[in-house]
Amino acid sequence: MSIHHPALLTDHYELTMVSAGLRDGSAHRHCVFEVFARRLPSGRRYGVVAGTGRLVELIRDFRFHPDEVTFLRESGVVDDRTADWLTDYRFTGDVDGYAEGELFFPGSPILTVSGTFAECVLLETLVLSVLNHDSAIAAAAARMVTAARGRTLIEMGSRRAHEEAAVAAARAAYLAGFGYTSNLAAGARYGIPTAGTAAHAYTLLHDDEPAAFQSQIAAQGKSTTLLVDTYDISEGIRNAISVAGPDLRAIRIDSGDLSVLAHQSRQLLDSLGATETKIIVSGDLDEYAIAALAAEPVDMYGAGTAVVTGSGAPTANLVYKLVEVDGRPVVKRSENKATVGGRKTAVRRHKPTGTATEEIVVSQGVPDRQPNDRLLQRSYVVGGEPAPLPTLEESRDHLRQCLISIPWEGLKLSAGDPALPVTVVPTT
């Protein structure tokens, strides 16, 4: 499923450029636009490509419906010539790019859009909206997965995001390695496993904590998770085991000093015979908080706000720039915003052991291939038609393999250089 009528998810100036281009004929020139990051968000050593699967669906459905064309004409955004052109618009060009779940670095040409100027420029805002959001979420979530060291993560940030952004964030977090989401729309659309039991409100609804726990156990069985920090955590754990018995699946702690509380809770559970009862912690967790709990007896993490906000980096810093017109490289020379002209081809270079060493990007050519190079771009849209896409599970596995391949320094949570250098070879 995709957002209904995505064509107006764009900026005013894209339509005015189309209008001017249709008037002087330049709108029909063949162009190549590329998406890349000049720099990564502060503190990041890699980016994660995410959202391309969603983007392909949105491009497929990118049409201007009669009421939208009327709005654009009556509001003076476009003239009659442009309105007529928009009525018949559909993207007929090509989209190529890095696989979803691929890592990227400054200068990586992660998406290439080619076609006429008019049809490509209309996609700028949509492309950047999807990729900047989803890639930022996926990179933050991937860092949390690394910090969790194999322990399961639940995405639970829906209440901290726009309703559609929440679904996209859940998808990006799952791509990055989260095991579950609390968002049911994400479960329905993308087949992501969902999880959730009860909030503090359900405990407060009842006359006392044991009554609330008894009700939840009666409805969901002992495989549920009881939230034990509404009043007093130690008493909450005793009540939980008293009601459910020692084979209760899990307890959840959502507040306080989680490091201390996890340790104390494990001791108490064990003393009550609940040695197999798991401990789930949540409450404003980000990658740093998760890493700080690495030595504690925590079995699962719930992360919300930090996921949907990209853990403080809500955009991936991606831009969409024109690099080629009718086969001729074009460049922007603005200070600090210069571009390299020409359509790019990229490979990831590896040692024989599989460790990635660098990325080679060549303009208007193909890098000299070495035995352990991996070509990074693939087709997403060909002649306006979507190409077959990997499944979300396949993309999830691809990211897992990419993270294994980079040098271990690239997985550090501290600020530092990008995990891999990118060498861009301009056209001659």
Q: In 75-123, which ranges are continuous DSSP H helix? A: 80-87, 117-121
**CB-hemisphere CA count at 13 Å for 283?**
16
pLDDT in tens, 170-222: 999 999 999 999 999 999 999 999 999 999 999 999 999 999 999 999 999 99
Sign of CA dihedral 294, 296, 301, 304: negative
Q: How many residues does the chain have?
A: 428
Residue 260 burial (10 A CB sphere; 0-12, 13-18, 19+): exposed
- CA atoms of 376 and 229, how far apart (whole Å): 48
**In the prediction, which pLDDT does 4 show?**
58
Report CA dihedral (141, 145, 147, 153) to the nearest 10 degrees.
100
CATH number of 6-137+313-425: 3.20.140.10
- CA atoms of 29 and 15, how far apart (whole Å): 16
**In the prediction, which pLDDT does 2 show?**
40
pTM over 0.85: yes
DSSP state letter for 367: P
CATH architecture of 197-298: Alpha-Beta Barrel (3.20)
**In the prediction, which pLDDT does 428 show?**
64
pLDDT in tens, 297-327: 999 999 999 999 999 999 999 999 999 999 9
Low-confidence ranges of the chain (pLDDT < 70): 1-4, 428
Tokens of 386: 């979507």
**In the prediction, which pLDDT does 427 show?**
72
Per domain, the residue ranges of the chain are: 6-137+313-425, 197-298
DSSP state letter for 348: E
Q: How many CB atoms lie within 10 A of CB 315?
A: 15
- The widest CA-to-CA distance across the chain, in whole angstroms, is 81
Phi, psi of 170 (to 5 degrees): -60, -40
